[in-house]
């Protein structure tokens, strides 16, 4: 369980907080998506969770331990992959890195070897285990960072852009691990990413940050459902679309995209098309995906 209460960070002499009174609960065994546009405050929040930044006010508890007051107990609770920072030692080999992080977490040598072997094999790095991480590609370094975060099987895992730079196969492996860790081991996972399909596929719950504040915190299903009234419809008509309709024409068919608040409005659109003599081929309702919802949330006028 991750508990965040009124967490606030003001950097140096900044006018506005980078993180402003954020409160969150991430229940054990859930995969929690943490979203927001660039500069929203996600990394700052994760760094405070990982004890790398001291909050200006508010607090974070990991597995019941306050990150500031009970630092070492809190640190023992999690593994983290942080974006944009060096998570692993470049002068050490992949194997040495995992040995180092395993020892740091207080694991026995035999157990570290076993775990490191499994993790490196599953990520396709076994053959390169004795090569220095500094000579690896960005994606391979990311794989070592993920393996290091998971070496001790921590109850909480913080992942900032874990699949960034990974190839299709490795992305698939990491996504499968995330789902299995939560489902089978009850691991609590907090995940930030700009890849919304990853969030939609994996996360039970999604929080959205904007300008340091939480603008939404809902189960993924409810978040999508709350935007149903903004459903989109696609109407396909033969030939070019009549003037005044926003359409994409390809191979003699125009697709008109209509966004409505009330499905009844679709009748008006169809009526207008008929008045222009357009021949309709199909009418389909397009359910919102997380990208639609996310864009709507971050583009709404600010109430600040
Ligand atoms: N070390 C720092 N010193 C001063 N300001 C900072 C520092 N780190 C971040 N900021 C500012 O805090 C705000 C939040 O940044 P943060 O990196 O937490 O956002 P983010 O949501 O993780 O963005 P991204 O998606 O781009 O990673 C931004 O306005 C940023 O400029």
149 contacts 70 by C-beta, under 8 angstroms: no
| Total Cβ atoms within 10 A of residue 224 | 18
Q: What is the Å distance from ligand 1's center to 211 Cα? A: 10
Residues 240 and 202 in one domain: no
One digit per residue, the tens of pLDDT, for the chain of length 304 reads 999 999 999 999 888 999 999 999 999 999 999 999 889 999 999 999 999 899 999 999 999 999 999 988 988 889 998 876 578 899 999 999 999 999 988 899 999 999 999 999 988 899 999 999 999 988 888 889 989 999 999 999 999 888 888 888 888 888 988 888 888 888 999 999 888 888 888 999 999 999 999 998 999 888 877 766 567 889 999 999 999 888 999 999 999 988 887 878 889 999 999 999 999 999 988 877 778 788 878 887 654 4
Q: Which domain holds residue 272?
A: 229-287
Smallest CA separation from ligand 1 atom 11, residue = 18
Smallest CA separation from ligand 1 atom 28, residue = 39
* 290: three-class secondary structure by DSSP: helix
Residues 204 and 69 in one domain: yes
Listed residue (261, 254, 259) closest to 276, CA to CA = 254
Q: Decide whether any atom of ligand 1 lies within 6 Å of the 40 Cβ.
A: yes
Residues 57 and 167 in one domain: yes
Residues 40 and 181 in one domain: yes
DSSP 145: H
Residue 164 backbone dihedrals phi, psi, to 5 degrees: -60, 125
Residues 256 and 215 in one domain: no
Q: What is the Å distance from ligand 1's center to 242 Cα? A: 47
Residues 43 and 21 in one domain: yes
Last residue of a domain, one of 225, 251, 273: 225
Within a domain: 292 = no
What is the CATH classification number for the domain harbouring 122?
3.40.50.300
Q: Decide whether any atom of ligand 1 lies within 6 Å of the 43 Cβ.
A: yes
232 contacts 293 by C-beta, under 8 angstroms: no
Residue 29 backbone dihedrals phi, psi, to 5 degrees: 80, 10
Residues 95 and 212 in one domain: yes
Q: Decide whether any atom of ligand 1 lies within 6 Å of the 18 Cβ.
A: yes
- Say if pTM beats, i.e. exceeds, 0.90: no
Residues 102 and 150 in one domain: yes
Within a domain: 67 = yes
* Residue whose token pair is 């640190």: 75
186 contacts 157 by C-beta, under 8 angstroms: no
Q: How many distinct structural domains can be found in the chain?
A: 2
**How far is residue 222's CA from residue 226's CA, in Å, rounded to a whole number?**
6
Q: What is the Å distance from ligand 1's center to 212 Cα? A: 9
Residues 59 and 204 in one domain: yes
Q: Decide whether any atom of ligand 1 lies within 6 Å of the 44 Cβ.
A: yes
Residues 233 and 221 in one domain: no
Within a domain: 127 = yes
**How far is residue 84's CA from residue 278's CA, in Å, rounded to a whole number?**
53
Within a domain: 299 = no
Last residue of a domain, one of 191, 225, 259: 225
């Amino acid at each position: 369980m991750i508990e965040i209460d009124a967490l606030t960070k003001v950097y140096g002499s900044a006018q506005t907080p980078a993180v402003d009174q954020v409160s969150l609960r991430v229940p054990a065994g859930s995969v929690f998506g943490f979203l927001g546009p660039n500069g929203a405050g996600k990394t700052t929040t994760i760094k405070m969770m990982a004890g790398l930044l001291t909050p200006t006010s508010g607090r974070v508890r990991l597995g019941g331990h306050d990150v500031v007051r009970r630092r070492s107990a809190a640190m023992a609770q999690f593994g983290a992959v942080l974006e944009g920072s060096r998570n692993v030692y470049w002068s050490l080999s992949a194997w040495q890195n995992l040995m180092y992080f395993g020892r740091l977490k207080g694991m026995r040598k035999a157990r570290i070897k076993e775990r490191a072997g499994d993790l490196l094999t599953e990520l396709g790095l076994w053959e390169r285990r004795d090569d220095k991480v500094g000579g690896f590609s960005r994606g391979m370094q990311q794989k070592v960072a993920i393996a290091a975060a998971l070496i001790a099987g921590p109850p909480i895992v913080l992942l900032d852009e874990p699949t960034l730079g990974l190839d299709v196969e490795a992305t698939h492996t990491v996504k499968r691990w995330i789902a299995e860790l939560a489902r089978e081991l009850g691991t609590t996972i907090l995940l930030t990413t700009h890849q919304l399909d990853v969030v939609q596929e994996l996360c039970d719950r999604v929080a959205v940050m904007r300008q340091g504040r939480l603008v939404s915190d809902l189960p993924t299903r409810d978040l999508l459902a709350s935007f149903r009234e903004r459903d989109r419809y696609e109407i396909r008509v033969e030939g070019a679309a009549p003037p005044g309709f926003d359409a994409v024409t390809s191979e003699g068919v125009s697709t008109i995209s209509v966004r409505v608040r009330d499905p009844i409005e679709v009748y008006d659109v169809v009526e207008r098309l008929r008045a222009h003599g357009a021949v309709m081929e199909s009418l389909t309702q397009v359910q919102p995906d997380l990208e639609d919802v996310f864009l709507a949330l971050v583009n709404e006028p600010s109430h600040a």
